[in-house]
Structure 1
Amino acid sequence: MRKTLLAVSCLLGLIIIALGLGVLIPRPLSSALATDGGPVPADSDVRTVFVLSSPIHTDIAFPADPDVIRHFAFMAGDGLDPAWPGVGHVIAGWGGRSFYIETPTWADLKPGPLFKALTVDGSVMHMSLAGSIDPTHPQVHALSLDRSAFERLLDAVSESFARDADGAPVVIAGVRYGPNDLFYEADGWFNALAGCNVWTGRMLREAGITTGLWTPLPGLLTASLALHNEPGEALDYVPGDR
C-alpha cells in the first residue's frame, strides 16, 4: 500500500510539473510577435477577438464584421446566417465528436463519449452565433490583432473544417444544441491530452500570439496568454516555429 501511494504521489507530482512547465515555457520559444511596445495608434486597423473559456473548453469569438460574415457565409446555406440582425459575434470551437455532440450539459454526460474523449475520437467544428460579449467577464480573454494576424486566424480556423469534393464544409445534419449553432465535420483526431484547448492555442499561434508549450485546460491557456503577451498591443504576425 505504501509503495502504491508513493507511486501515485510521484505520478501526480509529474503531472503538476508538466502542466506548470506547459504554461511557463512559451511556444514558440522565441516570440513571433513584433510590437512597438507602446499604445496602438488610433488609426491602426486593430481587431479584437475573444477567447471564451468554460471549465473544460475554449472557443474563439470573431466580431461579426463584413469580412467575417463573408468568410463564414457558407453557414447561411445550412440554416445559420452570420448576417442575421443582432449577431455580434461568430464563435468557433473544435472538439471530440462523440463528447462534443452528445454532452451539451454536464447532466448529459455518459460513459461512452467520456471514454472516447480520454482515448481517441474523431473531431467536429462547433459554430455558433452570439450578440454582444462582455470583455470584462472573467471567462473572456480579449486579444487585439492587426489585419494580417486577424486574417491568418480566420484562415487557420477555416482550414480546420473537413470539406467535400467541391471544397465546401460538411454540416452534420440534425445535430445542434439550439437554434443558434451547428456542427461540422472537422480535420484531425481528438484526445484529451491534445484536445480543444490545444487546438485553440494552435489557432492563436497562427496569428502570431505566443501561448504556453502545452495547455490542455482552459485556465492553463488563458494563464499563458496573460503571461506571454502584453495586453492592449497590436500583434503583428511574423512567421515562426509553431
Structure 2
Amino acid sequence: MRRVLRYMVMLLGTAVLAAALGTLVPRPLWPAASAEGEGTRHILVLKNPIHTDIAVPLDDGVRRRFAFLADTGLPIEAPGARYIVFGWGGRAFYLETPTWSQLKTMPVLKALTLDAAVMHVDVAGAILEPHPDVAVFDIDEEHFSALLDYIAVSFRQGEAGGPMAIENAGYSTFDRFYEANGHFNALVGCNTWTAAALRTAGLRTGWWNPLPVSLGWSLRLYD
C-alpha cells in the first residue's frame, strides 16, 4: 500500500512539474518577427474550465476562405453573424457532452486515452470584451492568413474533396461538427491544438498547455 501511495505521489508530482514547465518555458523561445507595414487583425481566444476556442471576425475574405463550410449549411452569411468560432477536440466527449449534466463515463475514458478528433464550428454574434473568459490579440495580415490555413487543414477531407460534416450533430442551428485530422488524448488535446494555432499566428505559448488555465498564463507571460 505504501509503495502504491508513493508511486501515486510521484506521478502527481511529475504531472505538476510538467504542467509548470509547460507553462513557464516559452515556445518558440524567441518572439516571431511581425510583418512590417501590415495592418492588424483581431482574434479572440475563448475559454471555459476545460476547453478553448479561437474566434475570428467574419468579413468577406474570411467568408470566402471558409466557403467550404457554408456549403455544408453553416450559416456564416446570417445577418447577425460577427464571428466564426473554431475548436478541435475528442469526438466522444464533444458529441456526447453538450452540457455538464450529460457527462458520461465512456466519453471521459476516451478523452483520457485515445479518441478520434472532430472540429466544432460555431457562428456567433457580438462577443463581450473585455471579459475574464475572452483574450484578445492583434496579429498582422501574414500571420492571420497562416492561422486561417492552419485551421482549414485541420478539417479531414472526404473523397469529393470537401469537409466531412457529421450528420445530426450540433448544439444549435448555428453550429456544425466535422471530422478532423489527428487523434485526441489527455496529453494532446483541444488546448494544445489552440496553442499550436496561436503559435502559427505568431504568438508565443508555453511549451505544453493541456489546460485553459496554463495556456492563459503563458499567453499573459509572453504576449
TM-score range for the pair, normalised by the shorter chain length? over 0.9
Aligned partner letter, 1:117: A
| Residues paired across the two proteins, number | 223
Segment of structure 1 superposing worse, 25-34 or 108-117: 25-34
Contact 2:147–2:201, Cα closer than 8 Å, also in 1: yes
Cα distance in 2 for residues equivalent to 1:35 and 1:225? 20
Q: Equivalences for 1:34-49 in 2 at 5 Å?
A: 34=34, 45-49=39-43
**Equivalent residues of 2:139, 2:202 under 8 A apart:** no
- Contact 1:62 1:89 survives alignment (8 Å): yes
Provide the C-alpha distance between the structure 2 equivalents of 1:35 and 1:136, rounded to a whole number of angstroms.
Answer: 26
Equivalent positions of 1:77-88 (< 5 A) are: 77-88=71-82
> Shift of the alpha carbon at 1:3?
4.0
Residue 180 of structure 1 pairs with residue 174 of structure 2: yes
Give the TM-score of the pair, scaled to structure 1: 0.88
* Residue 135 of structure 2 is aligned to residue 125 of structure 1: no
1:73 matched to 2:67: yes
Corresponding letter in the other structure for 1:110: K
State whether residues 57 and 196 of structure 1, in contact with CA within 8 Å, keep that contact through their aligned partners in structure 2. Answer: yes
Kindly provide the amino acid, as one letter, of the partner of residue 191 in structure 1. Answer: N
Aligned pairs for 1:34-113 within 5 A: 34=34, 45-113=39-107
Q: How much identity, in percent, do the aligned residues show?
A: 48
State which drifts further: 25-34 or 159-168.
25-34
Contact 1:89 1:131 (8 Å CA) reproduced: yes
Q: Secondary structure at the match of 1:74?
A: helix
* Alignment TM-score, normalising by the size of structure 2: 0.95
String of CA shifts for 1:153-180, please: whole Å, max 9, x gaps: 0010000000012321111111111111
Tell me which residue corresponds to 1:29. 29
Shift in Å, 1:202: 0.7
Counterpart among 173, 190, 199 of residue 196 in structure 1? 190
User: Is the contact made by 1:33 and 1:210 (CA closer than 8 Å) also made in structure 2?
Assistant: no
Report SS of the residue matched to 2:149.
helix
Unaligned 5+ segments in structure 2 are none
- Separation of aligned partners in 2, 1:110 and 1:5: 28
**Gapped regions of structure 1 (runs ≥ 5):** 37-42, 230-242
Q: How far, CA to CA, are the matches of 1:101 and 1:63 in structure 2?
A: 25
2:221 corresponds in structure 1 to: 227
Instruction: State the alpha-carbon separation in 1 of the partners of residues 3 and 117 from structure 2.
Output: 39
Query: What SS does the aligned partner of 1:78 have?
Result: coil
Is the Cα–Cα contact under 8 Å of residues 84 and 124 in structure 2 kept in the other structure? yes
